[in-house]
Amino acid sequence: AQSVTQLGSHVSVSEGALVLLRCNYSSSVPPYLFWYVQYPNQGLQLLLKYTSAATLVKGINGFEAEFKKSETSFHLTKPSAHMSDAAEYFCAVTPYNQGGKLIFGQGTELSVKP
Amino acid sequence: EAEVAQSPRYKITEKSQAVAFWCDPISGHATLYWYRQILGQGPELLVQFQDESVVDDSQLPKDRFSAERLKGVDSTLKIQPAELGDSAMYLCASQRGSSLNTEAFFGQGTRLTVV
């Protein structure tokens, strides 16, 4: 079964520093991959998705992610953290041939220090 | 801007009681999902509808959970009887189709606390 693993349940960075949130997937077939953000007591908002077009995907709010098949990774980055980026981030995969169903990782909580 | 509406936002219920959640998807979205998110974990799919038909309910605890989408528009998720372990955020999402070229939009969720 397809799955994603997020390394680090909590990441803390200083404002203006690089943000790097790690995600690895398990799939024998290149999957569709997603990053979502969730603010406290809110639903999930799509940041970006990989659908086998470009390997470097740009999303909203300055985030981007790079699909690396050799490393089975889809890490999320942002060059300069802002206080408003503090939230929970989820990596997700859609199983091959199962439509829109999403399988989520455990999440990474991002804290941004002033 | 169109959004997925869920109610109530918060619900506290005693164990063994019945509880229901309601979701109104974005107009024209044929696919509707119910996810459960336990505190500190990622969401897990409970049920997926295509119009009024269930596409996937393999993870729905059918002895106590039920879901319906009678007219292929809004949907209700019911738990009877509620157990302490059901305390979680219940998220509804809708999507125009089931193609990966369309985005799933999430509602703000219903936070359930069973006491």
Give the DSSP letter string of A84-104.
Answer: GG-EEEEEEEE-TTSTT--EE
pLDDT band at A75; cut points 50, 70, 90: very high
- State the average pLDDT for chain A: 91
Q: What is the DSSP string of B8-72?
A: -SEEEE-TT--EEEEEEPPTT--EEEEEEE-TTS--EEEEEEETTEEEE-TTS-TTTEEEE-TTS
Of A9, A41, A105, the CB nearest to B111: A41
Q: How far is B63 from chain A (nearest CA, A)?
A: 23
Of B43, B89, B99, the CB nearest to A104: B43
Whether A4 shows a pLDDT value over 70: the answer reads yes
Would an 8 Å CB–CB cutoff place B59 in contact with chain A? no
Q: Which residues of A touch B88 (CB under 8 A)?
A: none
The pLDDT of residue A32 is 87
Would an 8 Å CB–CB cutoff place A43 in contact with chain B? yes
Q: Above pLDDT 90, what percent of chain B? A: 87
The pLDDT of residue B33 is 96
Of A41, A46, A100, the CB nearest to B100: A100
Nearest CA in chain B to A48: B103
Kindly determine whether residue A102 and residue B99, on different chains, have CB atoms separated by under 8 Å: no
Would an 8 Å CB–CB cutoff place B83 in contact with chain A? no
Mind listing the pLDDT tens digit for each residue in B84-105? Answer: 999 999 999 999 976 767 889 9
pLDDT band at B2; cut points 50, 70, 90: confident
Nearest CA in chain B to A38: B108
The pLDDT of residue B70 is 85
Mind listing the pLDDT tens digit for each residue in B21-53? Answer: 999 999 999 999 999 999 989 999 999 999 999
Whether A93 shows a pLDDT value over 80: the answer reads yes
Would an 8 Å CB–CB cutoff place A42 in contact with chain B? yes
Kindly determine whether residue B4 and residue A43, on different chains, have CB atoms separated by under 8 Å: yes
| A44 within 8 A of A87, measured Cβ to Cβ | no
What average pLDDT score do residues A52-76 get? 92
The pLDDT of residue A1 is 73
Measuring CA to CA, how many Å separate A73 from each of A31, A69, A98, B5?
Answer: 11, 7, 21, 34
Would an 8 Å CB–CB cutoff place B58 in contact with chain A? no
Q: State the pairing for strand pair B53-56/B44-50.
A: antiparallel
Least trusted range by pLDDT, from A31-40, A95-104, B58-67: A95-104
The pLDDT of residue A30 is 67
Whether A89 shows a pLDDT value over 70: the answer reads yes
Q: Phi and psi (nearest 5°) for B32? A: -135, 135
The pLDDT of residue B24 is 97
